[in-house]
Each structure stands twice: as structure tokens, then as C-alpha cells.
């Protein structure tokens, strides 16, 4: 009798979990749709999001192209242009953090988050829906940036499957960083503070990396920092998958640089696990 009761109770608990997961998914998709509609009504947000990476592509390609030594290729501008694009792609997707921070902070300030809290919906769905909408916007920006890169001479050398994996790693990195942005947006009082908070740490993260210069060109004490930087792992991974590494290039001995594809995926999953937990906890605490 007791065994039957325990089995029934366990089945009911499992059923409740499944219902809760389905409800959370539906709520997340509704919130995502709401944010996508909002983005469509304010197209300048996407337009301005495109201007910065396009400027970086043009400026770095033609201003620094013949000035930065690439191991195995020297000062060849064409080689640097191929080398550069992995860094520009990765930088572009991580800058979605600032948009996520500002968007959530604005919703908090306008009381929209309070309205969501009053509805019978999953608490985590509000943040998940927002980050998924930011992921769609990032994918759109990535498509346009790819076209611009092709126009300035960048090429994919390793075939379609490898290229798709590279773009998947870029989107995974961008999605992981939007959770950092969500936590920042929940932790400040104004959208202006959220924008600043979402950008101030991104510049050292992206520049102290292998995005724009090889780590070998940095001071010895700074090289390990760049090589173990999660951002660097994705940059080197997409360069490898796109076939943009110069002939004879030797990756540094650090584990993430020797295994960039695996390291990129592990770093991104870890960031999502940590910062999603912190952001949802912050949201629930504020709601309470």
C-alpha cells in the first residue's frame, strides 16, 4: 500500500514538473515575442547596433592591417583581415550585453517587470524571454556583419559545416553574455547606469584577448590572462573553424588555446549556468 502511495506521489511530482516546464517555455516564448515586436517598432536600435561593428571592420582592416605582426604571416594586410574577423564577430555578439542590461533596467524603471510579477507566470520566463529576443537580434546583426566582412575580402575556407559550428559558438557566447547583462540590469536603478555597467568591463575583456593581436605580441605577464580569457577561446575557435588562421600559425600552449572549440562551448555553458542562476535569484528576491 505504501509503495503504491509513494509511486503515485512520485508520478504526480514528475507530472507537475513537466507541466511547470511547459508553462515556463510558453511564458518565455510570449515574453520573447513581446520583446521582438518592440524591437521591430524601434528599428534604430538594430541599425545603431550594426554601425559599431561595421566601423570596427573597416577601421581595423585598413588602418591597422599592415601594422600588426601575425606569427607565420608577418605584416601582410590581407592575412590580418582574415585574422581580424573572428575577433570582430565575437566582440559584436558580446556587446549584446549592454542592450540586455539597458532593456531590463528600462522595464524595471517603467514598472513593466512589476506587471509581469503580478501575472500567474514562471518567474524565470521574463528573463529567459528577454535573453532569447536579444539572441534573435544578435543573429540578425551577425548576418549583416557577415555580408560586410565578405565585401571587404574576408572568406570562409573550411566549408559550410565548420562555418555553421562557428556561428553556433558565436551565438552561444552572445547568449551567455546576455545573462550577465540581465543580472546587471536587475542590479542598477536606471537604463543609463545599466548601459555603462554593461560596457565598462567588456572593453578590457575583449582587448586583453587574442581578438585583435596575437598573445605573443603582448607583455609576458599579460599573455596568460589573454590566453585563458573565455572570449579568446571563442575567437580562436571561430578562426579555426572558418579557416582564417595563417599557414604555420602555432597556438599558445594554454589549454583553451590548444582546445578552443571545446573550451569555447564549456566557457559559454558555465557562464549561462552561473549567471542565469544569479539573475533569476535576483529577480525572485526583488519580487519578494
Nearest 10 degrees: Cα torsion 90, 93, 94, 100: 180
Residue 242: per-residue pLDDT:
95
Here the contacts of 187-190 (C-beta below 8 Å, separation 24 or greater) are: 187/282, 188/101, 188/105, 189/105, 189/109, 190/105, 190/109
Residue with cell 590566453: 227
Contact 150, 246 (CB under 8 A): no
Is 12 contained in some domain? no
Is 42 contained in some domain? yes
Task: Give dist(CA 214, CA 71) in Å, integer.
Answer: 8
C-alpha cell at 259: 582546445
Task: Give dist(CA 158, CA 277) in Å, integer.
Answer: 37
Q: In terms of residue numbers, what domain contains 256?
A: 29-287
Angle value at C-alpha 110, between 116 and 140, nearest 5 degrees: 80
**Per-residue pLDDT tens digits of the chain, which is 288 residues long:** 555 544 444 444 454 455 457 777 778 777 888 877 877 777 776 677 777 778 878 787 777 766 777 766 666 778 888 888 999 999 989 987 877 788 787 777 777 666 776 666 776 778 888 888 888 888 988 988 898 888 888 889 888 999 999 999 999 999 999 999 889 888 887 878 887 777 888 888 999 999 988 888 889 899 999 999 999 999 999 999 999 988 878 888 999 999 999 999 999 999 999 999 999 888 877 655
Is 40 contained in some domain? yes
Per-position DSSP letters for 33-91, written without gaps between them: HHHHHHHHH-THHHHHHHHHHHHHHHHHHHHSTTTS-BTTTBT-HHHHHHHHHHHHHHH
Per-position DSSP letters for 229-260, written without gaps between them: -HHHHHHHHHHHHHT-SPTT----SSHHHHSH
Is 56 contained in some domain? yes
Provide CB contacts within 8 A for 136, sequence distance 6+: 32, 36
C-alpha cell at 240: 579555426
Is 159 contained in some domain? yes
Contact 194, 177 (CB under 8 A): no
Residue 81: per-residue pLDDT:
83
Letter string b/e over residues 146-173, b meaning 16 or more CB atoms within 10 A of that residue's CB: bebbeeeebebeeeeebbebbbebbbbb
Is 105 contained in some domain? yes
Task: Give dist(CA 148, CA 151) in Å, integer.
Answer: 5
Is 178 contained in some domain? yes
Question: φ, ψ for residue 221 (rounded to 5)?
Answer: -70, -20
For the entire predicted model, the pTM comes to: 0.85
Q: Domain count of the chain?
A: 1
Is 241 contained in some domain? yes
The residue among 131, 127, 103, 132 whose CA lies nearest residue 116 is: 127
Contact 94, 202 (CB under 8 A): yes
Provide CB contacts within 8 A for 46, sequence distance 6+: 39, 137, 140, 141
Residue 114: per-residue pLDDT:
67
Amino acid at each position: 500500500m505504501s509503495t503504491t502511495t509513494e509511486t503515485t506521489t512520485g508520478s504526480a511530482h514528475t507530472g507537475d514538473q513537466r507541466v511547470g516546464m511547459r508553462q515556463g517555455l510558453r511564458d518565455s516564448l510570449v515574453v520573447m515575442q513581446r520583446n521582438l515586436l518592440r524591437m521591430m517598432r524601434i528599428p534604430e536600435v538594430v541599425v545603431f547596433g550594426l554601425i559599431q561593428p561595421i566601423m570596427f571592420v573597416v577601421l581595423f582592416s585598413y588602418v591597422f592591417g599592415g601594422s600588426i605582426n601575425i606569427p607565420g604571416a608577418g605584416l601582410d594586410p590581407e592575412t590580418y583581415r582574415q585574422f581580424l574577423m573572428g575577433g570582430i564577430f565575437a566582440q559584436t555578439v558580446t556587446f549584446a550585453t549592454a542592450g540586455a542590461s539597458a532593456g531590463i533596467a528600462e522595464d524595471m524603471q517603467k514598472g513593466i517587470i512589476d506587471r509581469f510579477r503580478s501575472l500567474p507566470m514562471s518567474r524565470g520566463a521574463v528573463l529567459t524571454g528577454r535573453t532569447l529576443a536579444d539572441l534573435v537580434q544578435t543573429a540578425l546583426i551577425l548576418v549583416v556583419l557577415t555580408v560586410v566582412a565578405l565585401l571587404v575580402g574576408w572568406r570562409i575556407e573550411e566549408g559550410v559545416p565548420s562555418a555553421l559550428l562557428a556561428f553556433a559558438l558565436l551565438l552561444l557566447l552572445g547568449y551567455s553574455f546576455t545573462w550577465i547583462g540581465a543580472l546587471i540590469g536587475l542590479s542598477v536603478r536606471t537604463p543609463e547606469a545599466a548601459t555603462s555597467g554593461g560596457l565598462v568591463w567588456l572593453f578590457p575583456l575583449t582587448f586583453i584577448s587574442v581578438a585583435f593581436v596575437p598573445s605573443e605580441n603582448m607583455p609576458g605577464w599579460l599573455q596568460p590572462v589573454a590566453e585563458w580569457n573565455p572570449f579568446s577561446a571563442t575567437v580562436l575557435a571561430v578562426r579555426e573553424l572558418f579557416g582564417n588562421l595563417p599557414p604555420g600559425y602555432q597556438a599558445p600552449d594554454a589549454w583553451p588555446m590548444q582546445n578552443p572549440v571545446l573550451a569555447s562551448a564549456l566557457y559559454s555553458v558555465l557562464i549561462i549556468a552561473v549567471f542565469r542562476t544569479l539573475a533569476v535569484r535576483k529577480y525572485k528576491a526583488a519580487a519578494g
